Structure 1
Amino acid sequence: MTRQGPLAQRLSAAVRSATAVETSGIEPIPADEREGGPGSSFTLWFSSNVQFSSLTSGMLATAAFGLGWAQALLAIMLGAAVGAAAIGVTSTFGPPKGVGLLVQTRLPLGRRGAALPAVLVFFKACAWFAVNSILGAFAVRTLLGTGFGPAFALVTVAQVAIALVGYGFIHLVQKAMALVLPLLFVGVSLYGYTESDLGSGFDPAKAGPLGFVGAFALVMAIQAARALSFSSYAADYTRYMPVDTPPGRLFLYAFTGTWLGSVWIASLGAAIGTLAFIGTPTDLVGQVLPGALATVTMLALGISTITSSCLDCYSGALAWLIAGVRMARWQAVLVVGGLGSAIGWFAGQGDYWKSFENFLIVLGNWIAPWLAVMLVQRFLVTSPDAEAPRNFGPGFAAWLLGLLAAVPFMSQPGVFVGPIAERHPALGACAAAVAFLTAGLVHYALARRTRTGATPRTGTPRTDSPEEIPA
């Protein structure tokens, strides 16, 4: 029997630790179980954004909204920076308390008030699981030549399996994919950038009543919404890190990973959008890519959707528990996987593009005011000994008022168009920004008026009941 060297032993121990099934739920992670460093946030968010939905969101900029590629690139960079900043900041919420951000939502919104965003995150996670499962199934079907059913089953089972093992395994998979995915995407990147029309200009016919300003703002909003939708998850993947993890470094790693992955793949999508309007991964084969490159690209797209959607399955399960449902974490993972698979199966039989744009924009409308409340609470309001209200806190009212303020600016054609967006289409991309600013200002005003200084907790809380977990 060959003896392992020190390095091999450490690697072996790390792999065993990462592949052990996670037993924790939403309770605080004890100090003696904390490990890992901020660098893992780079690989997690980079890998999660190197995927087909990033490609398609960038493609909208040129193929649907008429921006030239350079104009689209600038809008993508700016929008992705907003979303990446949100993920960077919310990643720093995990180490100090050892719980996810939705648990901490109880402090400003109250214990009952926090249940509503938890339910919304649960359904958002199921929806993203469905979207990515469809995309992954298209890629696997093209790669293996199977029907949609077997390909869809392969993708969904893989996503659920990763989430079932849990936190450590997710980080291990994302570290591996941070090395593999760039190698697999380099071919399509070279082809896409060299064969596309990078000198294309603005097309007013595609932009329609939006005009250039409206189209540019909408592309920024879509890119920001993509990353913003992940921000409710971010602390889930840092809650095992030591309490003294430097927040500045954690922000930088999470921001950089998110921004680089988003800008690379979305700008590639914008480049391909100057050649053709791609509805599914299959269309890349038929309309853009040559044979061997198409095969490698399908492999990359299939893998990337799995590595992204396992986050939706894992964090959606935690949200379900935070909403007050009493079950084990692994059972909640199966709930998300089952519901997301059902949605994806039926949606996969129809037109994927039909609601993708509206889906991305809607995500930002309710997440933006919630994020504003959390940021104000964390950096401007919180007392060290603050305790969550039993029912509803001032943040709940601020969140709802932020949403209401955004309604006139909302623009989801075919679903709802607010009066301001209808009269001034270019302002239809401002809904999330209006919601964010309104909720933040209202919460700051309300919280400072109602803060009385809560009595610190003195005993050890029970960890088997969501109602007893500290905010």
Structure 2
Amino acid sequence: MPSASDNKVGAVETRGIEPVPNDERRGNPLQLFWVWFAANISILALPLGATLVALRGLNIWQALLVGAIGSFGSFALVGLISVAGKWGGAPSMTLSRAVFGPRGNRGPTLVSWLSRVGWEVVNTTTAAYALLAILHIAFGVGANWALTIVCLLAFVALTLLVSGLGHATLVWIQQKATYVFGALNLVVAGFLVTKVHWHAVLHAHAAPASAMIAGIGIIAGGTGIGWANAGADMARYQPRRVPGGRIVAAASAGAGIPLVLLITLGGLLSTGDHTLAAASDPVAAIQAMLPSWMAIPYLLAAFGGLLLSNHLSVYSAGLTMITLGVRLRRTVAVGIDVVLTLAGGVYLMLIAKNFYGPFITFISLLAVAITSWVAVFLVDMINRRDYDPDGLMDTTRAGVYWNRGGVAWSAFVAWVAGIATGLLFTVAETSDTDVWFAGPLSKTWPARNGLGWLISFAVAAAIYLLLHVARGSARAARVTEPARSVSGAAS
């Protein structure tokens, strides 16, 4: 059986998705702060701020406020789901079995795994391009298929080295590496500030409140919402005695601080110059703003930020694969995940033609389903403070979370309804002329401003709450009726 001794820096974590007993948990909220800080320190967050200013018309003060609300707020949701990890000691999608039933949970878990692996492919591909650029600048080596594969392998190997060892090593690396790559990001940011058109910044007009609301949705959808289903994965080693508020604050502040700084800088750079917001390759666009001798520090900072984010993503994806029912050790699941990521990177860089945009569009569509799951899961937490550890692992008819046919229908129906409604307001496109999907209400204001995911959240939460209350009332009626019958017979 896995024990606390397995979760040490440098040792292979042998625990899979089984709940961590409270007496074996050695975590603290500061660890979570560094985990989320590291995962969001990438200089590639600059385009988010550029979008607020260049495409939404916000001035820098509005962009700062919108960035703060969107970043801190969305990662507060991550923190809330992390609290569930403290309660149950298990990964997010394993805890989700208690909400959806073991069979009903397969849908949300599959979506979660596909989304996680998809973004890992994007991270790996972008990092390989950065590494190829470093080799070209430093050694004059031109890109070819062999070197491309070597760069992909290097990034995947560095990811596997940390994610394969497990939780304790990941937490330690995230903190230590943040100092190095954080310093690089600060140096790069210092040079980027010199490119700001300060006259345009100081004289920019304010946008209407509606643009700010849309901006908050863009930031939340592009930051915390995508990480929500991984919250409990890192918090399962937090002792139950740790206050939930500290866990929420650790996730919110850990991610919010670097994101707000980078989003604000992106907004500053795009005031008076929309180059960054319009760039199809933000890595190259940012590099073009820097002096040539700053290219290598910048590309190293970009590479490191992607690596720190990928550590967490691959670790989470491995746990999610096991939750799907694949009978593997956690280390093997992580290994399969990185092999798929490598294959995806090879396809994107060496085989596919103009596939990058469509690929991101596809995994962005999955965000609607993830948001709907987040809504149902959070509503369930309102009346829950614990999870049955044996029940989470028992997927048979005898399990306490079996429900009807292995599905908790109130949760599953609410999840599907949230997805269906959100898609009505969703537009998935790679450009104005390449629209993959457009819901019937895609011309409305919420759809034009990318708020389909928010509508999905609201609908799923409302329906699940109503069905949950109705189910509770029905149970109370079934208990009360026999009592009345017995009372009548006695009289």
- Tell me if TM exceeds 0.5: yes
Give the counterpart of 2:244 among 236, 244, 247: 247
Give the counterpart of 2:442 among 421, 424, 428: 421
Aligned to 1:397: 413
CA 1:71–1:377: 2 relative to 1, 3 Å: same
Answer yes or no: is 1:366 the counterpart of 2:369: yes
Moved more, 72-81 or 214-223: 214-223
Shift of 1:71: 3.7
The structure having more radius of gyration, on CA atoms, is 2
Matched residue count: 434
CA 1:344–1:218: 2 relative to 1, 3 Å: farther
CA 1:231–1:444: 2 relative to 1, 3 Å: same
CA 1:363–1:58: 2 relative to 1, 3 Å: farther
Answer yes or no: is 1:267 the counterpart of 2:268: no
Answer yes or no: is 1:123 the counterpart of 2:114: yes
Q: Give the distance between the partners of 1:412 and 1:384, measured in 2 at CA.
A: 37
Aligned to 1:433: 454
How large is the RMSD of aligned CA atoms in angstroms? 2.9
What TM-score, normalized by structure 2, do the two folds share?
A: 0.81
Q: Is the 8 A contact 2:43 2:301 kept in 1?
A: no
Q: Give the distance between the partners of 2:154 and 2:387, measured in 1 at CA.
A: 47
Q: Is the 8 A contact 2:71 2:219 kept in 1?
A: yes
Shift of 1:422: 1.7
Shift of 1:34: 1.0
Shift of 1:339: 1.3
Q: Is the 8 A contact 2:27 2:239 kept in 1?
A: yes
Q: Is the 8 A contact 2:119 2:363 kept in 1?
A: no
Give 3-state SS (helix, strand or coil) of 2:443's partner.
Answer: helix
Moved more, 106-115 or 258-267: 258-267
Identity of aligned residues (%): 25
Q: Is the 8 A contact 1:215 1:426 kept in 2?
A: no
Give the counterpart of 1:58 among 32, 41, 49: 49
Q: Give the distance between the partners of 2:6 and 2:407, measured in 1 at CA.
A: 43
| 1:419 alignment partner AA | P
Q: Give the distance between the partners of 1:38 and 1:168, measured in 2 at CA.
A: 14
Shift of 1:343: 1.9
Q: Is the 8 A contact 1:213 1:426 kept in 2?
A: no
Give 3-state SS (helix, strand or coil) of 1:330's partner.
Answer: helix
CA 1:360–1:177: 2 relative to 1, 3 Å: farther
Aligned to 1:153: 153
Answer yes or no: is 1:406 the counterpart of 2:422: yes
CA 1:69–1:352: 2 relative to 1, 3 Å: farther
Could you list the runs of 5+ residues in structure 2 that have no partner in the other structure?
392-399, 430-434, 477-491
Q: Is the 8 A contact 1:214 1:425 kept in 2?
A: no
Shift of 1:203: 10
Give 3-state SS (helix, strand or coil) of 1:195's partner.
Answer: coil
Aligned to 2:218: 222
Shift of 1:359: 5.6
Shift of 1:427: 5.0
Give 3-state SS (helix, strand or coil) of 1:389's partner.
Answer: coil
Q: Give the distance between the partners of 1:343 and 1:44, measured in 2 at CA.
A: 26
Q: Is the 8 A contact 2:18 2:90 kept in 1?
A: yes
What TM-score, normalized by structure 1, do the two folds share?
A: 0.84
Shift of 1:309: 0.6
| 1:421 alignment partner AA | S
What pairs with 1:120-199 in structure 2 (closer than 5 Å)?
120-145=111-136, 146=141, 147=143, 148-197=148-197, 199=200
Shift of 1:174: 0.7
1:145-190 CA distance string (max 9 Å, x none)? 2533322221122112211101111101111123222211112212
Give 3-state SS (helix, strand or coil) of 1:281's partner.
Answer: helix
Q: Give the distance between the partners of 1:344 and 1:64, measured in 2 at CA.
A: 30
Aligned to 1:348: 349
Shift of 1:425: 6.5
Could you list the runs of 5+ residues in structure 1 that have no partner in the other structure?
1-13, 205-210, 454-471
CA 1:329–1:151: 2 relative to 1, 3 Å: same
| 2:241 alignment partner AA | D
